[in-house]
């Protein structure tokens, strides 16, 4: 199934400085999460962000938070899966009731919070899309295992360009022109 901007919502999971220091390919993860957030904002797609224990791990990375520009919903959590946190679960389900059953996921760590969240989303009737170039783990082997396991669990694995082009649907539109710079 292709992504539809009318059916999509974006979830950015735990892209926090203290966690990012240990992530393999952290710069790529940050850049691609920023890409997703900017595109979602320009297309009117709801954005949700989680922060894992921010008192100890700090806030979301500045560039992701700047792109977000308080244009969405941020929740603290201690649970690994966002769907096991009441505030986040309620937010995602409310958006689903509004027709947004496709959840596009970026963040860290791929093999822990991202995997658990995506699998829980699928089990609760959502369509989870993990953005491979917008997620990361400390070890490359953990990242690869996460993507393999997710794929076997019916979670769609996409990259950020796939997401943007599926949301845009065609060239020559004002949306295409607005987002074109994000994929150059």
Range of the structural domain that residue 65 is part of = 8-181
What pLDDT, in 10s, does the model give residues 68-89? 988 889 999 999 999 999 999 9
CA nearest 130: which of 145, 152, 115? 115
Q: How many domains does the chain have?
A: 1
What pLDDT, in 10s, does the model give residues 30-40? 999 999 999 99
Q: Give the per-residue pLDDT at 134.
A: 98
Q: Give the per-residue pLDDT at 82.
A: 98
Q: What is the CATH number of the domain that holds 166?
A: 3.40.50.850
Lowest mean pLDDT among 15-24, 146-155, 174-183: 174-183
Q: Give the per-residue pLDDT at 184.
A: 74
Q: In angstroms, how far is CA 24 from the centroid of its own chain?
A: 17
Burial (Cβ within 10 Å: 0-12, 13-18, ≥19) of residue 137: buried
Per-residue pLDDT band for 178 (boundaries 50, 70, 90) equals confident
Residue 3 lies in a domain: no
Residue 38 lies in a domain: yes
Tell me how long the chain is.
184
């Amino acid at each position: 199934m292709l992504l539809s901007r009318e059916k999509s919502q974006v979830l950015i999971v735990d892209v926090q400085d203290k966690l990012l220091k240990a992530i393999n390919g952290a710069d790529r993860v940050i850049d691609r999460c920023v890409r997703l957030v900017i595109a979602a904002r320009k297309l009117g797609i709801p954005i949700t962000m989680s922060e894992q224990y921010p008192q100890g791990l700090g806030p979301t990375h500045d560039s992701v938070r700047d792109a977000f520009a308080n244009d969405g919903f941020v929740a603290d959590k201690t649970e690994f899966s966002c769907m096991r946190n009441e505030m986040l679960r309620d937010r995602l389900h409310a958006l689903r009731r509004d027709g947004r059953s496709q959840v596009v996921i970026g963040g860290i760590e791929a093999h822990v919070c991202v995997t658990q969240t995506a699998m829980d989303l699928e089990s609760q009737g959502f369509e989870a899309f993990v953005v491979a170039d917008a997620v990361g783990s400390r070890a490359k082997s953990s990242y690869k295992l996460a993507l393999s396991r997710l794929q076997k669990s019916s979670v769609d694995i996409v990259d950020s360009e796939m997401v943007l082009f599926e949301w845009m649907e065609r060239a020559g539109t004002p949306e295409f022109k607005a987002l074109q710079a994000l994929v150059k």
